Structure 1
């Protein structure tokens, strides 16, 4: 989740949506998508949450080329009532929350250049659609995303967006889930990144800590680098329940009286699946 303070572009609607203009994609654009898609699906076969892989098939994202949002939305609407809406780039927080609360996922329509295969500062169509959309075909995760949007609108009125952003970051973008005795990937920031798809599960550097809402919302996170800690949920049902059954207003007040935790912190009360060496640290900013 990201914020924006610049004015709405003239060609965007009041809700910042724009036409995807699928016909304008070049052959190179489609080839870039296909190359990224093939690389990631091979990597994720045994690493991604089954719900993500099911979503790829169900939504027919395996079809070559950048997906047409209209066709994708039609299939997604039939499954969970969600649709994909093109936007010109980053949008203001409240606009983002309003879309989510109404089961609309905003996606950038541009695709990275061939020399940006491994890193991109601003989310593109591959990150947004490949990374995020397959899980919107899962009813529990789809409900969680709507609940998050509704919670974001309330947080905006309470001045607590920064706190709630950490929940999005450590679940929707960089979350891990347990499946039996194994950990799987479900965060879009990992699923759309070749390097982090390996790092998050295999590298000894990061902590892997059991999900706790209070603990997570106290924890700062890394930007422009791999995470120093990942939070692990037991199921999407657990994640949804923690969100809809929590009264966030008193939680925000309680958090205001507690110190923030650094991204590498491990507390005595944490449920630690693996304590990281923190060997991979490049000194980038955390939030």
Structure 2
């Protein structure tokens, strides 16, 4: 992977945002968005948390084609004060956290190609907008995302960003929630993936463990394959409360003295929803 540029690329503002230029999306790209949307919409009822499905309706993301951020933001701002801003690609950590702390979600400004429909490494507009944005219409989750951005800026001062990144990974990207109807998905990396939408809930291979803040921040994660383990939160309210009530500075010191855990580890004190078979082959070393 190429190193992150130190300055915004040509055409980007000092905060790395760029105009979406919605009119530049082609008919074929709009059709591909609709194809991806329809596929996930058929899969996610009964698998996704109800707040996500409610957000899809509230934001009208299925209106047809790639969403126009101007219209999307009108709805989102009224609901929770958040907005989506386009960026040319991955942005530096401090820029990312700065936007989150000001209730701005950065989204890639390109759509995957048809031959990448099932996987691509860099997040595109479908992952960012379909996967992430509907939950920003939920007031509690919206507050959690802002709190995470503020915490991210603080973590950089403690040299602990790699620990806090695991919290984002195992909640915002690959989180599960315990509900009265069973375990449901809220992580965007799962919600935007047809294969992992099934795997995360139904496959016997991964562990599904109860969420514990320190446990999560000790656990490495995979970037090359489906997860070997997922963490299950009790609710968005509980996640937000723990994030706001925790003093992270002493937690980072404690974490520095503890060994990291492998993505497939199960500890004696874990609450185990599913003890996975780990039958899915590991294609590369865990990251």
Name the TM-score class by shorter chain. over 0.9
Question: What's the CA shift for 1:282?
Answer: 2.2
Following TM superposition, where does structure 1 have runs of at least 4 consecutive aligned residues deviating by more than 6 angstroms?
A: none
SS of the residue corresponding to residue 183 of structure 1 reads: strand
Aligned to 1:59: 59
- Equivalent residues, number: 286
Listed as ranges, the matches of 1:2-81 within 5 Å are 5-7=4-6, 8-81=8-81
Partner of 1:136: 136
Q: Which moved more, 1:5-14 or 1:249-258?
A: 5-14
Offset at residue 4 of structure 1 (A): 5.9
Aligned residue runs from structure 1 range 79-158, under 5 A = 79-158=79-158
| Deviation sequence 1:16-56 (CA, Å, 0-9, x none) | 00000000000000001000000000000111100000000
CA distance in 2, matches of 1:87, 1:224: 24
TM-score (norm 1): 0.98
Structure 1 residue aligned with 2:174: 174
d(CA) in 2 for partners of 1:282, 1:61: 35
Give the drift of 1:140: 0.3
**How far, CA to CA, are the matches of 1:219 and 1:52 in structure 2?**
26
Instruction: Say if 2:224 and 2:283, in contact at 8 Å, map to a contact too.
Output: no
Tell whether the 8 Å contact from 2:224 to 2:284 is kept in structure 1 after alignment.
yes
Question: For the residues of structure 2 that align with 1:13 and 1:281, how far apart are their CA atoms?
Answer: 43
Alignment of 1:259-278 (within 5 A): 259-278=259-278
Q: Distance in 2 between matches of 1:216 and 1:147?
A: 17
Q: Which runs of 5+ in 1 are unaligned?
A: none
Match of 1:282 in 2: 282
CA distance in 2, matches of 1:224, 1:244: 31
Q: Deviation digits for residues 122-148 of structure 1, max 9, x if unmatched?
A: 000000000000000000000000000
Residues 4 and 90, structure 1, Cα contact 8 Å, conserved in 2: no
Q: Does 1:253 align with 2:253?
A: yes
How far has the Cα of 1:231 moved from its partner?
0.1
Counterpart-to-counterpart distance in 1, 2:66 and 2:73: 14
State the alpha-carbon separation in 2 of the partners of residues 143 and 282 from structure 1. Answer: 36
**In 1, distance between residues paired with 2:169 and 2:2?**
13
**1:284 Cα deviation from its structure 2 partner:** 2.0
TM-score (norm 2): 0.98
- Separation in structure 2 between the aligned mates of residue 92 and residue 3 of structure 1, nearest angstrom: 13
Aligned to 1:195: 195
Separation of aligned partners in 2, 1:225 and 1:59: 30
Q: Deviations over 1:237-283 (max 9, x none)?
A: 00001100000000000000000000000000000001001011323
Q: In 2, are the aligned partners of 1:108 and 1:125 still within 8 Å (CA)?
A: yes
Once the 2 structures are TM-superposed, how far is the Cα of residue 285 of structure 1 from its aligned partner?
3.4
> CA shift at 1:286, angstroms?
2.4
Could you tell me how far apart the structure 1 residues matched to 2:117 and 2:64 are? Answer: 18
Partners in 2 of 1:258 and 1:15 — Cα distance? 36
